[in-house]
Chain A
Amino acid sequence: MTEPIVQVSPGWAVLAPLGLLLFALAGAGLNGALVARSVGRPLRSGARAPIAEVARLLRQRRQVTIAADVLLWRIGAGGLVVVATLKILVIPLGPWTLADLDVGVVWFNTMDVMIWALFWLVGWGANSAHALVGGYRFLSLAVSYELPLMFALITPAVAARSLRVGDVVAAQQDLWFVIWMPVAFLIFCGSVIAFSSWGPFATAVGSDIAGGLLTDVSGVDRLLILTGRYAVLTAGAAFAVPLFLGGGAGPLLPDWLWMIVKTALVLAAFVAIRYRVPTIRPDRFAEVAWIIVLPAALLQVLVVAIIVMGS
């Protein structure tokens, strides 16, 4: 029914970061609107807040702390947007994809491991106690979410008998994977929120350590990190669609538009959850992640594998 995925010319790759940034801006706008509502201001003024924030950070001088490891610090700050862009290369937009890798799922996983390094560099580079603690917190969180995330990524691949993202989409012709692998979907969503240092998993940038990773970052560096967080969140939301939500499948609209609509909905859900739940402390979460979440992920793979072998 759906046509095979075609790999478009690399020239189109310039559109990838552009689209990503538009999504990131929309996400930030939604976030601003939600914040505005919570303090009783008009939604519209809140939705414009990201633009004001960008202007503010562009005007702000970038400052450097004493004996900062400036090179590593800047790599960490600038790297997030790059990693997010690399992540979305393997996501098919309807019939088109920029890189039809036969290990697309693993590619995504590789990129999210890169985030470990980037956040750690941001924490390390500042030569400041609070930022360093932010880095520690992110790593301890990462140790908890990464393995469950890997198994959550593998589950759809097992069902599709392929690591190619296009094949995973094709395998959902009859039934979206979210229906029969809900545990993997939930773990995936939680992990996306965690690797974006977002919402309940935002302890690395928590207000209790004065912004943690962000404590000493100002000006354009801060802009890059904040944009990067929205970008990796968007990339995660976009990857949930081919993996669990049937890719571009849907009535009336063309495939590529469904991709965009579904991505927007998942992203909106991620943004909406941000302030609504208390923080999940990394030290507490480790226990739950290893004793409950990881076995649940393994069980999900097992169930899926048995079903696939049986059919």
Chain B
Amino acid sequence: MGVTSLLARWASTCVHVLIVEVPGWDESRMLLEAELDRRGWRIALSPADADLLAVCGMPGVELRTASDLLWNQLPGPRTRVSVTTPVTLSALLDAAVAHLGDDSRQRNDAWVRSHPVADKDPTADAGEHESMVHDGMSTEDADHGGMEHGDMDHGGMDMPMPGGIPLAGGGDDRDGLEMDVLHVPLGPVLPHWPPGLVVDCVLQGDVIVSAEARVLEASSPEEVPTTAVTDAADKRRRIVRLCDDAAKLLALAGWQTAAQTARRLRDDELLGVDITDHVAALDRLRRRVERSMLLRWSLKGIYLGEIGVGARADTGTAPPENLASVDIRHHLIGWLREAAFLAGTSSGVQPPETSGADPAREAQDALAALPELLRGADLGTARLLIAGLGLDTAALAQTHEGTHD
């Protein structure tokens, strides 16, 4: 009693949370992240690291399947919450802690998980498949959502299949050497990843041979909160989004302190803290990013080509002469500059770029360009490229709604 409850109490002060973000619910995710920071909790990088699965928004069928699969990969003690409104967030997390600390319930949960056949599922093969998914924790195809579970498992029957997974086939890599070929879906749940995006990759080593991109949607497009969770004005929302994109890219570049600064600016903006000193803070961050030689060197030569460059024209700087030579570091600096510019204008002025650019079209172009962009890139570069796109998957969901009408 004494030791276990003591451990439970200590453990409850740093819960690790795996966040599943549904397209269109980014503000819920940001509010959750801000609350986690306040509590000193950590964001889990993978399900094996998580105690709490937090689904932000109302997922569609596929995304719900993915999050259920992730739920099965949480080692336990575990609990899950669904975050849709900021009002109850704190109470929700308090309840989650109580559930995590409840030893008897957690033991019960562990027992049920280790006896999957004892569930009231009558059909034998369904039960078998169920147990396979249960155990299918992050093998290469089940990793992070494992959307391609089915077609991976039932290939070549004559090959040895350890654990029901066929061995990887070989293929010539870019240097003409034979190398294993793995089929790995990236997403829909990864740290600093556009919500709902799935990139089905064929990998050799850590190099992407080919890729296909798709987006898993929210439950129904009408339910996407177009007016959003907070009542921030459009301009503010744009600043929040720019800061969020910058924070993601900085985090992927491994620069934690700068990413944290960007996140804090984002949270202040989201919660409506006084806007005047934000211009200075955003400028400071931008100059810091511009000055860093290491970041320049690390991101050098990672180009997005023409994608997404056009929209950023009117932020008080001359457009670069050669668009193709704009690497993602320039995008990052452009985002921070635009955010500072928007924060600096008086509240009546409309943000300049909303007049011309259509976010949905832009996002669709970016999604269509992804396979070509990622081919031949290693995973690290691919992640930076995707983050550099600043892909707005919620806007994609809205165009989908448009085509349905």
Give the docked Cα–Cα distance between A275 and B250 (Å): 11
Cβ contacts A125-148/B at 8 Å (1 or 0 each): 011111011001100000000000
Of the candidates A56, A128, A217, A284, the one whose C-beta lies within 8 Å of that of B140 is: A128
Q: In the complex, which residues of chain A have a beta carbon less than 8 angstroms from the beta carbon of B311?
A: none
A214 touches B294 (CB 8 A): no
Query: Does chain B have a CB within 8 A of A2?
Result: no
B165 touches A66 (CB 8 A): yes
Given A206-B254, A275-B256, A278-B292, A218-B14 contact (CB < 8 Å) = no
B191 touches A36 (CB 8 A): no
Given A39-B37, A283-B378, A66-B49 contact (CB < 8 Å) = no
**Contacts A/B (CB < 8 Å), 17 sampled:** A39-B37, A39-B260, A52-B10, A63-B137, A65-B138, A66-B164, A128-B140, A130-B138, A136-B206, A203-B254, A207-B254, A208-B380, A216-B46, A218-B75, A277-B294, A279-B253, A284-B300
Given A208-B252, A278-B292, A284-B297 contact (CB < 8 Å) = yes
The listed residue with most B CB atoms (<10 A of its CB), out of A39, A62, A215, A278, is A278
Within 8 A of A (CB), among B207-255: 250-255
Query: Does chain B have a CB within 8 A of A7?
Result: no
Query: Does chain B have a CB within 8 A of A102?
Result: no
Q: In the complex, which residues of chain B have a beta carbon less than 8 angstroms from the beta carbon of A65?
A: 137-139
A202 touches B297 (CB 8 A): no
Q: In the complex, which residues of chain B have a beta carbon less than 8 angstroms from the beta carbon of A161?
A: none
Shortest CB distance B82–A (Å): 22
A209 touches B254 (CB 8 A): no
Query: Does chain B have a CB within 8 A of A178?
Result: no
Shortest CB distance B271–A (Å): 13
B163 touches A67 (CB 8 A): yes
Within 8 A of A (CB), among B143-187: 143-144, 162-165, 182, 184
Give the docked Cα–Cα distance between A280 and B253 (Å): 9
Give the docked Cα–Cα distance between A32 and B182 (Å): 37
A218 touches B48 (CB 8 A): yes
Give the docked Cα–Cα distance between A206 and B255 (Å): 11
Of the candidates A61, A64, A67, A208, the one whose C-beta lies within 8 Å of that of B76 is: A61
Give the docked Cα–Cα distance between A70 and B172 (Å): 30
Shortest CB distance B213–A (Å): 17
Given A49-B14, A51-B10, A63-B75 contact (CB < 8 Å) = yes
B140 touches A129 (CB 8 A): yes
Give the docked Cα–Cα distance between A206 and B256 (Å): 11
Query: Does chain A have a CB within 8 A of B304?
Result: no
Interface residues of A (CB under 8 A from B): 36, 38-41, 45-46, 48-49, 51-53, 55-56, 58-67, 126-130, 132-133, 136-137, 200, 202-203, 206-211, 214-219, 222, 274-281, 283-284
A136 touches B254 (CB 8 A): no
Of the candidates A46, A56, A222, A280, the one whose C-beta lies within 8 Å of that of B298 is: A280
B14 touches A53 (CB 8 A): yes
A127 touches B294 (CB 8 A): no
B295 touches A278 (CB 8 A): yes
Give the docked Cα–Cα distance between A51 and B37 (Å): 18
Given A53-B14, A218-B49, A207-B191 contact (CB < 8 Å) = yes
Q: In the complex, which residues of chain B have a beta carbon less than 8 angstroms from the beta carbon of A202?
A: 254
A130 touches B75 (CB 8 A): no
B163 and chain A: residue at smallest CB distance: A67
B191 touches A210 (CB 8 A): yes
Given A59-B7, A280-B294, A214-B45 contact (CB < 8 Å) = yes
Of the candidates A61, A62, A137, A207, the one whose C-beta lies within 8 Å of that of B251 is: A207
Shortest CB distance B270–A (Å): 15
Of the candidates A64, A137, A211, the one whose C-beta lies within 8 Å of that of B49 is: A211
Of the candidates B75, B250, B298, the one whose C-beta lies within 8 Å of that of A284 is: B298
Q: In the complex, which residues of chain B have a beta carbon less than 8 angstroms from the beta carbon of A59?
A: 4, 7-8, 11, 77
A66 touches B142 (CB 8 A): yes
Given A215-B45, A277-B255, output 19 extra A-B contacts at Cβ < 8 Å.
A52-B10, A56-B10, A56-B16, A127-B140, A128-B139, A128-B140, A128-B143, A130-B144, A133-B206, A202-B254, A203-B254, A206-B380, A208-B192, A208-B380, A210-B46, A214-B48, A276-B257, A281-B380, A283-B378
Shortest CB distance B123–A (Å): 22
Shortest CB distance B32–A (Å): 14
Give the docked Cα–Cα distance between A71 and B302 (Å): 39
B6 and chain A: residue at smallest CB distance: A55
Q: In the complex, which residues of chain B have a beta carbon less than 8 angstroms from the beta carbon of A45?
A: 13, 40
A275 touches B257 (CB 8 A): yes
Q: In the complex, which residues of chain B have a beta carbon less than 8 angstroms from the beta carbon of A280?
A: 294, 298
Shortest CB distance A134–B (Å): 9
A203 touches B380 (CB 8 A): yes
Give the docked Cα–Cα distance between A126 and B12 (Å): 28
Query: Does chain A have a CB within 8 A of B62?
Result: no
Q: Which 6 pairs from chain A and chain B are nearest by CB?
A: A279-B254, A67-B163, A275-B256, A55-B10, A66-B163, A211-B45
